[in-house]
Structure 1
Amino acid sequence: MASRIQEYIYGGPEQSDKERAKCSVTMDGRIILTAVLTFVTYVMYHAQRITFSGIAASLKEEAGFTATKLGVMSTGYMFAYAIGQFLCGRFADFVRPKRALVWGMLACAVLPIIEGFLGSSGCGGTGGCYGLWTILRISEGLFQATGWTCTVAIMGNWFPSEGRGLIMGAWSTNSNVGDIFGLHVSAAILESSPWYVALWVMAGLMIFWTFVNMIFLRGTPPPLSLDWQYKEAEATQVDQEVSGTYASFCQVLCIPGLMLYSSCYLFIKLVNYALFLWLPFYLSEGIGVDKSLANLMSTRFDLGFIVGAVLAGLLSDVTSHWAGMPMRSPVVSGFLLLSLLPMSVMRFSTNPDTIKWAIFFCGILQGGPADALTSAVSVDLGKHPSLQGARATATVTGIIDGTGAVGAAVGQYMVGLLSDQLGWKSVFMFLLTCLALAFISSLFRLHKELRDAKEARMNGFLGTCDSESSEASDTFEQYA
């Protein structure tokens, strides 16, 4: 049934001209379908992830968990997620992204179901039950890593480098949409049902969307079915959905710019997750803002993140078009430099009206580079000419995002330690230092890309001059 539906949409596995003419869906329709399916997929991943945060208070009040035990589980989850990014990216390129995505979604659905049954049977945060919960949370971190690596790889297969920044920037707001959706669903359920029902509902939604992907999603476009495929990767004549090769790990590590971008993202994600998870606590405990108002003020960071992702994507398309090649480091470096200003305001100001705008601009200026690195830049590097068409996008995405997840896990420990020992001012000095290090890391890549773009434009200019002089010479000889 699934193969028939896919043939109905995509026109058959071989995609001959005759089969394409029989397609029920236009090529633009297929591209939009892929974007919508992958967008909602990661909404489901993030909604399930945030649901656990939504029920944390209930776990503490009703299931015997302490704040320390919840913190240990969250730290284990983050480190498992970091390791999972490296492993799942490699796994997705090996078995193909769609397969890895489907298996990962099913695993992500099964684990909360088990947690729900533990909660309904009274097995909570005491004794051996706590150990079982910790194991389940660590396993969730591993399988949650399949979401971003696989969906970014699939999007990279369907969209060309031209305009990729804006498209991926808008698409990568799915995590923010997932947070909003997950918190609203869990809040609605908690009003009338036990906390473990929220886990079951999100698991049910995840299973439903898994089957939707199995039926309707195609991980790659059929070979040479898109106009841009003729201009880009030489291996497009191979249908990577059913065959094709994957790059070796050494090949991936040798991609120019990968390690610099990864180190840059380590510091960016450290700062972003520190603000995501600690802002409400800082606003209420650090400067005395009411708890409900603190939560509302914190949502400005999410809103800024969405604006920054789209804006950075658009600007990176402009710089790439000017250079005639993917060049996104000017936007990353520029945003990081400007982000030092609102972060400095948060360090020195205690005025809630001033801080709420500083939070918003932090979201814009830190969210832009973050989403650019984990989406458009990851796809650019995963399609690098040195790979000769071999699958590598999921591995590249996993390396960049996994490195960032390590930073986020370390950052959680450092923020807690510094706030207890030295106060919140020291926390913001630490975050300012991390932003400065991220900016310095991006400068090395910026210098390389500007030099390459200058050489390419100079070569293009000389080639044009040679062509024009050759034509003039031919004309002169003709009249002579």
Structure 2
Amino acid sequence: MRKATNKRIENERLLSTEEDDVVRVQYHCLPIGVWLVERMGVLSRLDPVVKKKCYQILIVVLTFCCYTTYHLTRKTISVVKSTLHPACNSTGTCANPSNHCRGWEPFDSSDGKTLLGTLDYAWLFSYAIAMFFSGQLADRSNLRYFLTVGMLGSAMSASLLGLTYFLNVHQLFYFILVQILGGTFQSSGFPAIIALMSNWFGKGRRGLIMGIWYTHNQTGSILGTVIPAIFAHNKWGWSFLVAAIVMVGMTIIIFLFLVTDPQYVGLSPPKHHLEDAVDDKEMNQSSEELTIHSKRETISMYKALFIPGVLEFSLAHFFAKMVSYSFLLWLPFYIKNNEIGGHCLDTFQSGAMATTFDVGGMIGSIGAGLLSDILNARAVAVTVLLYLSIPMIFTLRKLGSANLPLAIILVFLTGVTVVGPHSVITSAVSADLGTHKSLKGNTKAKSTVTGLINGIGSMGAAFGPLITGALSSHEGWDAVFYLFMSLYFASSLLLTRLVISEVRKWRRPCYQQQSNKKAARILHNSDSESVSLQETEFAL
């Protein structure tokens, strides 16, 4: 009887260990759409590997479209700027002194660019502050609910801006208040979707996957430029309302189909750090600072700062995002107010030309991610692109007005080099550091680390457009472009220690191989000497 009992216990133990790899479907955690699919048994008949690939594709598509709508709603105002503050009072080469040119109060005055910069600052500053808390909140909540609330809030703020046209609102305080509201809700997006991607994908080829996936930024920018440009010239209120309607539709899809954890559908989570090579010195330092043992324990932002590489990448991101968002929010305005080949472009044409920057950003995101995978060195890849951006920004300013084809090429190449570093830091680097080996397997730090890096970067983004508006009004656009070059140079210098560390890791295998050969040679010589001694002793 006792033997039978022991046998049954042993069988149950073996069964439980086998079920560690095949997790049961947790129906109570699934969204309604996926719950129906699982209940119908559509995917249950598939091999677990094939099933996981299907869900990974679903997650990539959903998160891609999700953040595309985030960027769609935030980019709209950059196109509408040229309608709120037309070129009548501008100092650009396309300025129109006609008294019949009208903007929208209070932005149609001589200091209209400064007021528009204030709106950018209100949005970006609230976005940056809220980002620090969004990461912490996302790690402590259901990511699907978190994204749903954030998307609905972002759509509401865009609608409130669109309604100002139909309700004839001209109070600056109202615009600033809505921008603060929008920035707060928009901060919910990135920490949550980075955590989602890390839940579904391991570190293998993360740079390339994240680089391709990060093109949602540029896709949203293109849609946020082309769609609003249709309405911007006449009924600009619809520019915001259409973007809000699209975002509400995407919110419904996210709520119905987003699976936040592979274990909910009976799949095993990815294994991180299979190929991590962390210095012993860094590991010892991080082990002293981080005392994290539970896989479900969240960490504070203070502890996240001590993860190796977080501080350097955060500060570098501060300057890189300052430049990236200045281009994002001011490039259509800059193109419209400066002659290209002796001609001035209208609102739609300048918006369409600005999309070439976003197309270049797509190539830059994919290329930077692939380069970081090939080199197995994120800091080196980012630094190379930062240095390449400096001559491209200079060339765009000096030769961009020569003719239209050359201007399009230069805007495209500038997008490649400017967006590339920003995309790697905010996606692949954030995911790597959020699952860093020093966290000892903690899976609840991804959103916090992403929020910290993106929050510090967004602080720079908050100052960039404001400085751009004020500096272009008082010192001209030459001063703005020289500032951009200086900021990218400072960003590259901040990564020097990490670049040196990664280069040393490249050389370490060579030294190891040489030392192994030397050890083998010494061992061979010692064996030869021992053999000769034995032969001598035998002869004697």
Tell me by how many angstroms 1:167 deviates. Answer: 0.8
Tell me by how many angstroms 1:382 deviates. Answer: 0.4
**2:367: which partner in 1?**
311
Task: Answer yes or no: is 1:341 the counterpart of 2:369.
Answer: no
1:262 is aligned, of 306, 310, 314, to: 314
**1:332: which partner in 2?**
382
3-state SS of paired residue (1:209): helix
**1:405: which partner in 2?**
458
Structure 1 letter corresponding to 2:503: L
CA distance in 1, matches of 2:516, 2:300: 36
Tell me by how many angstroms 1:419 deviates. Answer: 2.9
Task: Flag the 1:9–1:71 CA change in 2: closer, same or farther, 3 A.
Answer: same
Greater shift in the superposed pair: 422-431 or 146-155: 422-431
2:480 is aligned, of 427, 433, 438, to: 427
Summarize deviations over 1:198-222 as a string: whole Å, max 9, x none. Answer: 4333333322222211221112221
Q: What is the TM-score with the length of structure 2 in the denominator?
A: 0.73
3-state SS of paired residue (2:191): helix
**1:351: which partner in 2?**
402
1:354-369 map, 5 Å: 354-369=406-421
CA distance in 2, matches of 1:337, 1:3: 45
**1:39: which partner in 2?**
64
Tell me by how many angstroms 1:308 deviates. Answer: 0.8
Query: Structure 2: which 5+ runs fail to align?
Result: 1-27, 86-101, 276-294, 524-540
Structure 1 letter corresponding to 2:246: L
CA distance in 2, matches of 1:34, 1:337: 34
Size of the alignment, in residue pairs? 451
CA distance in 2, matches of 1:59, 1:286: 17
* Bigger helix fraction: 1
**1:216: which partner in 2?**
257
CA distance in 2, matches of 1:296, 1:112: 22
Greater shift in the superposed pair: 51-60 or 98-107: 51-60
Tell me by how many angstroms 1:111 deviates. Answer: 2.8
CA distance in 2, matches of 1:466, 1:20: 54
Tell me by how many angstroms 1:46 deviates. Answer: 1.0
Task: Flag the 1:25–1:277 CA change in 2: closer, same or farther, 3 A.
Answer: same
3-state SS of paired residue (1:95): coil
Task: Flag the 1:23–1:355 CA change in 2: closer, same or farther, 3 A.
Answer: closer
CA distance in 1, matches of 2:503, 2:45: 41
What RMSD in Å do the two structures reach over aligned CA positions?
A: 3.8
Task: Answer yes or no: is 1:28 the counterpart of 2:26.
Answer: no
Task: Answer yes or no: is 1:159 the counterpart of 2:201.
Answer: yes
**2:185: which partner in 1?**
143
CA distance in 2, matches of 1:38, 1:75: 27
Task: Answer yes or no: is 1:49 the counterpart of 2:94.
Answer: no
Confirm or deny: 8 A CA contact 2:75 2:328 kept in the other structure: no
CA distance in 1, matches of 2:126, 2:421: 24
1:111-190 map, 5 Å: 111-117=157-163, 119-122=165-168, 124-126=169-171, 130-188=172-230
Tell me by how many angstroms 1:408 deviates. Answer: 2.2
Task: Flag the 1:160–1:461 CA change in 2: closer, same or farther, 3 A.
Answer: farther
Structure 1 letter corresponding to 2:147: L
Tell me by how many angstroms 1:50 deviates. Answer: 2.1
CA distance in 2, matches of 1:63, 1:412: 20
**2:244: which partner in 1?**
203
Structure 2 letter corresponding to 1:220: D
Greater shift in the superposed pair: 346-355 or 295-304: 346-355
Task: Answer yes or no: is 1:392 the counterpart of 2:417.
Answer: no
3-state SS of paired residue (1:291): coil
**1:474: which partner in 2?**
none
Task: Flag the 1:435–1:62 CA change in 2: closer, same or farther, 3 A.
Answer: closer
**1:438: which partner in 2?**
491
